[in-house]
Structure 1
Amino acid sequence: MGTTTACVLGISGSLRSASTNTALLRAAGALVDPAIGFRLWDELATIPPFDEDHEAEPPDPVLRMREAIDGAAALVIATPEYNGSIPGQLKNALDWASRPYGDSALTGKTTAVIGASPSDYGATWAQDALRRSLEAAGAHVLDTGVAVPRSDEAFDADGRLADAALHIELGEAVWTLTTAMTEKEGLCDVR
């Protein structure tokens, strides 16, 4: 474990080990002011299917996810695009995180949505769907975002965006997110 600080929590909607969306989150995390901190949450694969029968006593992985979200000052979520929308595992996790409605870990949470895709559109449809889902859950979703097209060619050997304009756009999105964080500064372990 690292130090406990106000931080931005990054959530990748991809389970793939070589995910370009996870690479995009790492690039975003490198742009977060060290005084704020960044943590990449990497337990998406552990979240079981949402089941209202277990809502009152959710499984441990769900409790850990909610705790991570609640402990963050802000979220940045990177989504791939599967069949024009967000991946099922990400939507499932957000369904768990959205409960109980109105008093969930997502309620009022300042959130930025970004995405990468091998297509020419950079997961824009998925980002739109993710924003709608987050807004319905009560998150404070920022208008800013980053769409990385042709993601299989978008990163250099150091994990930075190869396109200078996209790198600047990502920096602006990170700056907008960190300046929009509310007074309820969360605390989380930065690894």
Structure 2
Amino acid sequence: MKGVIESSLGWRRICYQYAFRTCAKGQRSAGAGKFQSPDVLCIILRMQIPPALNLLAISGSLRANSTNTALLGAAALLAPEGVAITVFEGLGALPHFNPDHADTPSPEVAAFVQAAVDADGLVIACPEYARNIPGTFKNALDWLVGSTQFPDKPVMLFNASPRASDAQAALRLVLSTMSARIVDDACITLDLLGRPWNAAAIVLDSRLAEPVRKALATFCNAIQ
């Protein structure tokens, strides 16, 4: 079961306990050097206290074991107190962008646009394919172009690979054309190459978790 991760007041301890158990279980099953663990994204954590900020996290990858999606899952677990991060999972269900359908979008598109508009900010992690952003992710952004409520939307960028500089440049160009407000001080690059990271492993690695935590704090302070 694929679900949505939300991080909020009252649930942080549960998040870390689950992350620890999941990561430890994965390490024990790694026998042949292959890291295996249950997918942290299967957990659904519901809020008991309304958060001060609601962020929408969007991964540009459709891969089931995407490091970009894992990075966003970790961000949901590491979010500051009072901040809820929802990881969007419907990227692959969005139809091809067609301006003729902009005024009568499909339910999937309408839900995505509304989620992006309602969010206090966007957290984006996008891979690089052929020195650009993936077509499916550009398609999602195209559906947001016509929204009159999107301009000045705060955005922070996570880059899971130091090699993906061309995609980051292309993404910034698209977002700036859409009049998004990119918070540069909150944009970071992490090196997740070389092993199949999941959200729990990122949370438990201080070399990765601390930059994510600080970037999120910077982003939230900039948009509050």
TM-score (norm 1): 0.82
> CA deviation digits over 1:115-137, x for unaligned, max 9?
224xxx24222122112111111
Q: Give the C-alpha shift of residue 156 in structure 1.
A: 6.7
- State the SS of the aligned residue for 1:132: helix
The 1:114/1:15 distance shift into structure 2, 3 A limit, reads same
Contact 2:125 2:157 in 1 (8 A): yes
The 1:179/1:59 distance shift into structure 2, 3 A limit, reads same
Contact 1:111 1:142 in 2 (8 A): yes
Alignment of 1:119-130 (within 5 A): 121-130=162-171
Higher helix share: 2
CA distance in 2, matches of 1:168, 1:154: 20
* Rg larger in structure: 2
Residue in 1 aligned with 2:37? none
Q: Which one-letter code corresponds to 2:208 in the other structure?
A: L
- State the SS of the aligned residue for 2:218: helix
Q: Give the C-alpha shift of residue 55 in structure 1.
A: 1.4
Show structure 1 runs of 5+ residues with no match: 183-191
The one of 76, 87, 93 aligned to 1:40: 87
Residue in 2 aligned with 1:174? 216
- The structure, 1 or 2, with the larger RCO (C-alpha pairs under 8 Å, 6+ apart) is 1
TM-score (norm 2): 0.71
Residue in 2 aligned with 1:188? none
Contact 2:127 2:160 in 1 (8 A): yes
Percent of aligned pairs sharing the same letter = 34
CA distance in 2, matches of 1:134, 1:149: 23
Higher strand share: 1
Alpha carbon RMSD of aligned pairs, Å? 2.2
- State the SS of the aligned residue for 2:216: helix
CA distance in 1, matches of 2:152, 2:59: 20
The 1:67/1:168 distance shift into structure 2, 3 A limit, reads same
CA distance in 2, matches of 1:157, 1:98: 30
1:71 equivalenced with 2:118 (yes/no): yes
Show structure 2 runs of 5+ residues with no match: 1-43
How many residues are aligned here? 176
Contact 1:122 1:147 in 2 (8 A): no
Contact 2:92 2:136 in 1 (8 A): yes
Runs of 4+ in 1 over 6 A off after TM superposition: none
